[in-house]
């Protein structure tokens, strides 16, 4: 009887590991840190590689009350949305978030135009409210972010936060801020693997260490571009495992932001009576998107709904077991 | 691409002088410069200025000097099995080695394959036998098959086998480059996984006025035919640019606008 040759892949490369958050030992005030990355084969192929650090869940907190979020989501969050510090606290203590992503939408010129100092104040409030590591995400208005993010980086100096986003057209200010205050960086690309690599090269050319960088290749919800994103993330992983150091970075996905925009998540039972339970539809949409992207190779999943966070935790546990 | 830098060769004045003066620094500098330019491995060749009886010692000296600064794979370049053994044994202590090279003559193949097995070394096999350089694609391919069979018999894994179709200078034989390209493609069909295919690139432009242009054009064409390894001068920037660009065109790596910057490990 002929013996079959092993089907296991032998990869030359691996994803670099990155630690977010700093405890007192490291010069910060976090009570826990989060380490992501380190995989040396495609997701969850336990028979051929290791997942030394399981994918983690961050919950999204805004510095202003969201005014267009779906009803079921607002109902689940309740009063939390009135105070970023309370919101963050509940995410960690009640809903099990591994990290908080503070999105400074309130600083956007069209959404209130909060000042850099006000934003820095919110950063300090959230750092004071929770012990988990913090992701700080700007309003994505380049001009404003270039004023706000350096101030927030200073306010959080020593905490080794993850700060976003650096894009091909606007990266120097954020890179300098992260360099100066010891933070990690999120590089964004618009569902384009070539631009993803390019941004990594540009940032690296500034002398910023790649092992402090996470990639955000943009996220598409189920039914709204998820497969395209999936294929890009998967190609990035394959390149990394093949030895491409410029692609060997952990990946973050903005699942909640994308899933809760879609009509399948937002439509009421009256608007769409055949679409099933309006309370769970959005959660399922968010969970399905997250679960699929885990298979493509995702290290940080950012979700909005408490039930998604809890269910996703179980999904991840079953995949890494 | 598995680029083997060819500059550590006693034929070159700087290395030849360093060997004569027993000065390791020029050798070590050249090793690091080649790696920074994108070489994956380094060829180590004593050259013919050194008298025959001293070549074993000089090989060991070169290997020792280079191993002091890098654990990159070293290709030990010598026609003598004895010098080869001494170089490989020493180089293998600090990293991977490649035997450069053996012909397909039955009496040589066995000995060199055994050496490869003993030190888990890669081995370059030339399309040359007792009749000389095989001249047609079919004849070259047959010698490639012979080399593969010898590897299998000696339990040398296919990932360690590098077949060389032998490329002659363009100004000697203009039919040769196309034959080499056909051979490269055929070599890659000999097994699954395929053996590696390598050429000593500098040969094709040797003696020609436009040798750099000829070399890098042939390299692009050879890569398209399936070449995945090459012995050449990595300090030739235009040549290395062709390597990186050809790999993109073959979808072997991901494109980005600044791909040339990212391709060079050193600055």
Contacts of B254 in chain A (CB under 8 A): 193-194, 197, 235-236, 239, 244, 246-247
pLDDT tier at A304, thresholds 50, 70, 90: very high
Please judge whether A194 and B258 are an interchain contact, meaning their C-beta atoms are less than 8 angstroms apart.
Answer: no
pLDDT attached to residue B264 = 79
Is it the case that residue B263 has pLDDT exceeding 50?
Answer: yes
Is it the case that residue A136 has pLDDT exceeding 90?
Answer: yes
Distance, in Å, from the CA atom of B122 to the CA atom of B115, rounded to the nearest integer, reads 10
The predicted model gives A23-36 an average pLDDT of: 96
Q: How far is CA A180 from the centre of its chain?
A: 22
**ipTM value of the model?**
0.84
pLDDT tens digit string along A223-280? 999 999 999 999 999 999 999 999 999 999 999 999 999 999 999 999 999 999 999 9
Radius of gyration (C-alpha) of chain A in whole angstroms: 19
pLDDT attached to residue B107 = 87
- In a mutagenesis test of the A interface, which of B254, B260, B261 is the best target, namely the one with the most A β-carbons within 10 Å? B254
pLDDT tens digit string along A150-209? 999 999 999 999 999 999 999 999 999 999 999 999 999 999 999 999 999 999 999 999
Is it the case that residue B267 has pLDDT exceeding 60?
Answer: no
Helices (H), A206-305: 226-241, 255-259, 263-266, 278-297
Please give the residue of chain B at the shortest CA–CA distance from A242.
Answer: B253
The verdict on B250 touching A (C-beta cutoff 8 Å) is no
| DSSP-derived secondary structure for A134-150 | EEEE--S-HHHHHHHHH
Q: Is there a contact between A57 and A303 (Cβ–Cβ < 8 Å)?
A: yes
Q: Please name each of the domains of chain B with its CATH number.
A: 2-263 (3.20.20.20)
**HEC string for B21-52:** HCCHHHHHHHHHHHHHCCCCEEEEECCCCCCH
Please judge whether B258 and A201 are an interchain contact, meaning their C-beta atoms are less than 8 angstroms apart.
Answer: yes
pLDDT attached to residue A41 = 95
pTM value?
0.89
pLDDT tier at B266, thresholds 50, 70, 90: low
Cis amide bond preceding B150, omega within 30: no
The verdict on B256 touching A (C-beta cutoff 8 Å) is yes
pLDDT tier at B45, thresholds 50, 70, 90: very high
Q: Which residue has the tokens 């997701």?
A: A43
pLDDT tens digit string along A74-95? 999 999 999 999 999 999 999 9
The verdict on A235 touching B (C-beta cutoff 8 Å) is yes
The verdict on B251 touching A (C-beta cutoff 8 Å) is no
Q: Please name each of the domains of chain A with its CATH number.
A: 18-320 (3.20.20.20)
List C-alpha distances in Å: A14 to A39, A244, B10, B138.
Answer: 6, 9, 38, 41
Distance, in Å, from the CA atom of B161 to the CA atom of B145, rounded to the nearest integer, reads 11
Q: Is A4 helix (H, G, I), strand (E, B) or coil?
A: coil
Q: What number of CA atoms fall less than 13 Å from residue B49's CA on the CB side? A: 14
Cα distance from B263 to chain A (closest Cα, Å)?
A: 9
User: Closest by alpha carbon to B220, among B161, B166, B168, B177?
Assistant: B177
């Amino acid at each position: 009887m002929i013996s079959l040759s092993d089907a296991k892949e032998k990869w030359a490369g691996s994803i670099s590991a990155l630690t977010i958050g700093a405890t007192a030992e490291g010069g910060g005030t976090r009570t826990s840190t989060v380490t992501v990355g380190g995989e040396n084969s495609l997701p969850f192929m336990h028979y051929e590689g290791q997942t030394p650090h399981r994918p983690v869940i961050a919950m999204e907190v805004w510095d202003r009350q969201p005014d267009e979020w779906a009803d079921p989501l607002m109902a689940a969050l309740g009063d939390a949305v009135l105070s970023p510090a309370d919101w963050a606290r509940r995410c960690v203590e009640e809903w099990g978030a591994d990290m908080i992503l503070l999105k400074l939408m309130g600083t956007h010129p069209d959404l209130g135009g909060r000042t850099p100092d006000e934003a820095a104040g919110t950063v300090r409030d959230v750092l004071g409210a929770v012990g988990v590591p913090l992701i700080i995400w700007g309003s994505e208005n380049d001009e404003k972010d270039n004023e706000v993010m350096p101030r927030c980086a200073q306010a959080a100096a020593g905490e080794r936060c993850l700060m976003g986003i650096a894009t091909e057209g606007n990266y120097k200010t954020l890179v300098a801020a992260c360099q100066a205050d010891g933070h990690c960086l999120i590089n964004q690309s618009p569902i384009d693997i070539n631009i993803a690599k390019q941004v990594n090269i540009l940032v690296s050319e500034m002398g910023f260490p790649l092992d402090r960088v996470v990639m955000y290749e943009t996220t598409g919800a189920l039914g709204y571009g998820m497969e395209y994103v999936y294929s890009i993330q998967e190609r990035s992983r394959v390149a990394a495992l093949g030895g491409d150091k410029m692609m060997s970075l952990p990946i973050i996905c903005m699942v909640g932001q994308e899933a809760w925009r879609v009509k399948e998540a937002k439509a009421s039972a009256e608007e769409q009576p055949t679409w099933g339970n309006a309370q769970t539809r959005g959660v399922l949409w968010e969970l399905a998107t997250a679960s699929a992207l885990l298979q493509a190779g995702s290290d940080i999943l950012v979700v909005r709904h408490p039930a998604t966070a809890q269910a996703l935790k179980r999904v991840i546990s079953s995949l890494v077991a | 691409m598995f680029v083997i830098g060819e500059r550590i060769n006693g034929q070159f004045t700087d290395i030849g002088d360093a060997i004569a003066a027993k000065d390791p620094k020029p050798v070590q500098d050249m090793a690091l410069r080649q790696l920074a330019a994108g070489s994956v491995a380094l060829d180590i060749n004593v050259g013919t200025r050194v008298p025959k009886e001293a070549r074993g010692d000089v090989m060991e000296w070169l290997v020792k000097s280079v191993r002091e600064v890098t654990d990159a794979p070293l290709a030990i370049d010598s026609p003598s099995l004895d010098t080869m053994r001494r170089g490989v044994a020493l180089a293998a202590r600090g990293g991977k080695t490649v035997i450069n090279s053996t012909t397909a003559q039955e009496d040589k193949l066995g000995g060199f394959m055994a050496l490869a097995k003993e030190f888990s070394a890669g081995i370059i096999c030339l399309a040359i036998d007792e009749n000389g350089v095989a001249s047609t694609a079919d004849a070259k391919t047959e010698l490639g098959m012979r080399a593969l069979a010898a590897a299998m018999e000696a339990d040398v894994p296919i990932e360690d086998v590098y077949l060389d179709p032998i490329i002659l200078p363009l100004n000697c034989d203009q039919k040769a480059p196309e034959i080499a390209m056909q051979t490269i493609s055929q070599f890659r069909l000999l097994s699954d996984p395929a053996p590696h295919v390598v050429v000593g690139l500098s040969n094709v432009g040797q003696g020609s006025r436009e040798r750099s242009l000829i070399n890098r054009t042939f390299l692009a064409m050879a890569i398209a035919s399936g070449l995945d390894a090459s012995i050449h001068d990595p300090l030739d920037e235009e040549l290395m640019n062709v390597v990186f660009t050809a790999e993109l065109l073959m979808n072997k790596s991901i494109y980005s606008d600044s791909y040339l910057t990212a391709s060079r490990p050193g600055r």
